[in-house]
Structure 1
Amino acid sequence: MSLAKDLNLPIKHAKTVLPSTCVEVHGIMIDTKSMIAKLPQNKVQALRSLLNMYRKQKKVTLRELQSLLGHLNFACRVIKPGRCFLRRLYDKTMGINSKHHYIKLNNDCRADIQLWHEFIHDYNGCTLLTGDRFISNQTMNLFTDSAGSKGFGIVYSNEWTFGCFPLQIQQLHINILELYPIALAVVKEALQLAPHLNKCPAAIPNTNK
């Protein structure tokens, strides 16, 4: 600080932070001691209010949808998996210029909003910082895919499995159905996958964007 003063460099004291293990970076609190990224509670509360407002609506204006997407997109800085639940909402804004134009929200869009609502309702704003300490599915030779109307498939090394979804989950969101073969593969191949999963978490992508 004294050096900046000697060099006549302007300092914005409101944004000046002394050395600390917890600092705010672009609106996100980063705690390097606890290794967490924290979404400010005012952002969480705003999300809860917006999602509660829109989760049952069948029509919204372009301005309203863009406002909701802006809040959700900011939340995805901390909630990384959330982006796959924004794609269909963003698609609804394409080709529309008037801020007051009403957009019809179909069942899929409302399902995405409802999923966000259920998650945010109990979310404390904190996410563990894991960095790049993930092992890829290519390293494990594990690949999965799901189709809501057909079923799922699993390929692990030189083995393969396929099947239909149980009746009690067939109507769930495709993003949830994508998790079923992954969980089944981990259970089925537990002994073979254990050496990989004991070292670090696994990153298994799905094809649903």
Structure 2
Amino acid sequence: MIFKKLNIPLSSSKTIGPVTSLEYLGIILDTDAFEARIPVDKINRMCYLIHQLSRKKRCTKRELLQLIGHFNFATCIIIPGRSFLSYLFHVSCSVDELLYHVRLGKEARIDLSIWEEFLMHWNGRSLFLESSLITNVDLCLFTDAAGSYGYGGI
């Protein structure tokens, strides 16, 4: 009502009333389940791209970078996936032009298969963790600086 009185246009497709699950910047935030999810269509798109590249021995730099971009987005939710991006970045840097072909070797295929496992079994979900749930006192975790060798922790 206030927006109409002030003559501010609103898009009805982008306006949502009070809800507990909403999509924001391509991520579904669910306050009931305390989780963030990747939408199913994005998971399906990434799986499709993985299957397309897994069957090839070579692909263009553009195709690989497109998939890396999707993976980079997914790391907001699938945090362990960051470890399996570095080699794919390395492969993409082996040529200069976007239309040049890169070789997808054994290591790249392993990273692609691990990403497929993440997408299929991680289920695109990440829980909201409250920092107040577990503290170092609750865990009886205390550390001490080690003078010359190793690390100190009790």
TM norm structure 2: 0.79
Report Cα offsets for 1:169-201 as digits up to 9, x if no partner: xxxxxxxxxxxxxxxxxxxxxxx6xxxxxxxxx
Q: In 2, distance between residues paired with 1:99 and 1:61?
A: 7
Identity among equivalent pairs (%): 31
- Of the structure 1 ranges 35-44 and 122-131, higher mean CA displacement relative to structure 2 is found in 122-131
What amino acid sits opposite 1:100 in the alignment?
Answer: L
Residue 199 of structure 1 is matched in structure 2 by none
1:56–1:110 CA contact under 8 A, matched in 2: no
Q: In 2, distance between residues paired with 1:69 and 1:119?
A: 14
2:78–2:122 CA contact under 8 A, matched in 1: no
Q: In 2, distance between residues paired with 1:109 and 1:135?
A: 39
What amino acid sits opposite 1:157 in the alignment?
Answer: G
What amino acid sits opposite 1:57 in the alignment?
Answer: K
Residue 147 of structure 2 is matched in structure 1 by none
Question: Structure 1: any 5+ residue segments left out of the alignment?
Answer: 143-154, 159-191, 193-209
1:69-80 to structure 2, matched below 5 A, reads 69-80=68-79
1:50-199 to structure 2, matched below 5 A, reads 50-94=49-93, 96-132=95-131, 140-141=142-143, 157=152
1:30 to 1:141, Cα distance in 2 relative to 1, 3 A: same
RMSD: 2.5
Shift of residue 54, structure 1, vs aligned partner: 2.0
Residue 7 of structure 1 is matched in structure 2 by 6
What amino acid sits opposite 2:91 in the alignment?
Answer: K
The structure in which a higher percent of residues are strand is 1
TM norm structure 1: 0.60
